[in-house]
Each structure stands twice: as structure tokens, then as C-alpha cells.
Amino acid sequence: MATAALAPEQVNEISDEEIERLEEIMSDTLTEAVEKCGSQGLPTLLRHMAKRLEREASTLDADRPPLSDEEVKASHTQLMVALGKKEENVMDVMGPSIGEGVPEVAFYPEEGKAPTFFYDTAAAVKNPTLPEGRQSWGYTTDFALFEKIIWPLFKELKEGTMAVETGISLKHGTPEWEARETDKELAIKVAEGISRNFWTTVLATVRVQGWRPMWMLMVLYLILVSYPTCVELYLNALKGGGACDSEIGFIRAAMHGLGFECVADGSFSAEEKYTLFSWVKERPGGAERFQVWLIVHHDPDDIDVENICDMLHPCSYNATAPDLKRLAVVSAPVTDGRGERADERLNAALGKALKMMQLAGEGQGEGLELSLELF
């Protein structure tokens, strides 16, 4: 629906009567929607309406309009090509091109030699924006010290022998499950735990060459500590330039080398304005398989706050290990393609999502019952 933009001086001229009329239109629309669809889906409907209205408001903001569908698609295409996919395959998520461009790096060292998997992985990732002959993303990376410490731990993860923490696992539909599902005190506890453990590995604010080892170590540690305790790990990123693309490339290559199965290799959503990757790995002892999601957002002005809130939402089955849920921001530029601060807008979106999640856990939003429908 096309909407005429109001000039700034016209905004304050909207009368109380006009505002009241708009509220009546919204109320009538909601009433009609409930009559047709029932009240059960009303929370979801309201969220979609709020998101649509927020997008319309952004469109009316002449200073910083959201990216168009064409711009978002171009951003996705550029990312996937930078990761090594052919342009004709950038929309191929599960076809023959899955994993295209991921470098093959040996995990196990040659006999008598020290392991170099993580160094080799960083060196194999390419950054096409660097000068010819220096396009190895890890060309300044000295990872030898870290490799000695973490490689034996990742060997257990790769081989499926890493111990998984035990907790309370309840079967869906049992009285115990139902009791936990409606436990508001537990919902608040889970929400607080998820919020406290919302991590970041972004080091974009410091311009030094030796940032790669620390960034790599933090991302790898995040995967390592989540495997025995969490059923889901959500990694959020904001599309940036060549260095940010290479960070995505490193995660993609490391997951492949560690034996994770790729189940989504660059799934593109024009509506949500993100590109999604996902990997799974079985865990011992009857635990649910471990799933890692990597969501690359393309527009800092139109980040799907509702989607992040859904990721954060306190679910009853995420109350204890080994079924916890963790989120992190792993990659973001300081500025966007327009040269404007992007990190601040990402922080604002994450802040909104955390606030919405906390209200839900406290019973002021949707409770645990809805959370089970969101996943």
C-alpha cells in the first residue's frame, strides 16, 4: 500500500480527531481479524502488524530509508560470492552447491607434528578485497599458542566423545512438562539466564592487525562451551565489508572441519532481510543434537527485533543443561555502506529484543505457552 510522506512541519498538525479515527480503524481491523482467525493467533498478528508499521515509519524517514529488496538481494549475493559460491548458486540452499567455496582443511596433523587446524583454516579463508597475493584472511595470524591448548578439546567435540552435562529432560505432554510450562517464576529465571549469557565477540572498534587470534578464540570458545550445555546456539552478525565476510567464512570453514552437518547454507529471506546458515552435530548420552544458527542481517535499520526476541524467548525446555539456549553477536562493522554508525543501531535493536523478552518472562508479554509455539 503506497503511503504519502508527510513533510516534517505537517506531523504536528494531525488533530486529536484524526488520531482517534486512526485508532478506530485499527480497532475495527483487529476485530475483523479475530472474527476470521480466532483470538489464538492474535499475539502473532499484533507482532506482524507492529513490524509492518515500523517499516512504514522507516520508509517515511527521509533521512535514512531502509534498504530496498534489490539492495538486500545484492548484499546477499555479494556475501555468498565472497564466501566462494558461484553467482548462479547464491540462492541454492540445500542443492548440489551446499558447502561450495568452503576450504578443505585437515583436522588431524601429520604424525610427529603439532596440530595447525585453526591456523590453516584462517589461512585458507580468502578476503577478495585485500591486495593480490595477500588475500589470505589469516595472513597476520599467529595461532600456535592457542592451538596447543584448544585443539585437544575440539578433538573430543569432533569425535563425539566430549561429555555432555546432565540435567532435567522432560517428555512433552507429561504432567511434569505441563507444570514447568506454566511456571512463571521459572520463565523469569530462564529469561535472566539467557540475557546474562548474551555474548559478543565483536572487536571492530579497535584498528589493530592482531585482532584475528582473539576474535577466533572467542568464537571457538563460544562453540566449545555451548556444545555440552546447550541445544541451540544463535550467532547474529551484521553484514559489513571484506573483513566481516571473512569472519563468516571462517565460521563456515571451521564448522565443516569440525564435522558439523550443514543443513542451511545461505538461506536468504528478502522479507526478514537476512541470510541464514545452520549446522547440527549429534551429542552422546541421548542428548538432543546441538544446532548452531548464524544469522547475517543486511540492514541495520530494519533488523527483525521480533525474530531476535523469539530466539531469546524463555522456553520451559531451555531451563537446564544440556538443553540451554545461548545467543551472541559475532560480527559487525562500525559503519554501514552509507558511512553511518551501524553498531549503535544494532545495539538499539538488541536492546529492544532484550526488553521484550524480559517483559514476556515477567508475564507482561507472552508466557511460556506461546514460547513453545515459536520454535
> What ranges in the chain are assigned the alpha helix state H?
16-37, 42-60, 69-82, 117-124, 144-159, 175-181, 184-196, 212-226, 242-257, 305-312, 343-361, 368-371
Query: How confident is the model over 197-214, as pLDDT tens digits?
Result: 766 666 555 566 677 888
Q: Which three cell numbers stand for residue 33?
A: 481479524
Contact 73, 268 (CB under 8 A): yes
Q: Confidence class of residue 285 from pLDDT cuts 50, 70 and 90?
A: confident
Higher confidence at residue 54 or residue 269?
Answer: 269
Quick one: what percent of the chain has pLDDT higher than 70? 76
Of 52, 82, 57, nearest in space to 5 by CA? 57
Q: Using CA atoms, how far apart are residues 349 and 342, in angstroms rounded to an integer?
A: 11
Angle CA 101–107–111, to nearest 5: 140
Which 8-state DSSP code applies to residue 260?
P
Q: Using CA atoms, how far apart are residues 246 and 331, in angstroms rounded to an integer?
A: 10
Contact 186, 316 (CB under 8 A): yes
Of 54, 56, 47, 52, nearest in space to 313 by CA? 47
Contact 359, 365 (CB under 8 A): yes
Which range, of 11-20, 154-163, 182-191, 306-315, averages the lowest pLDDT? 11-20
Higher confidence at residue 267 or residue 4?
Answer: 267
pLDDT at 366 over 80: no
Query: How confident is the model over 88-138, as pLDDT tens digits?
Result: 999 988 888 999 999 999 999 999 999 999 999 999 998 877 787 778 887
Q: Confidence class of residue 60 from pLDDT cuts 50, 70 and 90?
A: very low
pLDDT at 9 over 50: no
Of 119, 155, 153, nearest in space to 139 by CA? 119
Query: How confident is the model over 233-245, as pLDDT tens digits?
Result: 999 999 998 989 9
In sequence order, what are the residues at sequence separation of 6 or more whose Cβ sits closer than 8 angstroms to the Cβ of residue 339? none
Mean pLDDT calculated for residue range 36-40: 67
Mean pLDDT calculated for residue range 47-73: 67
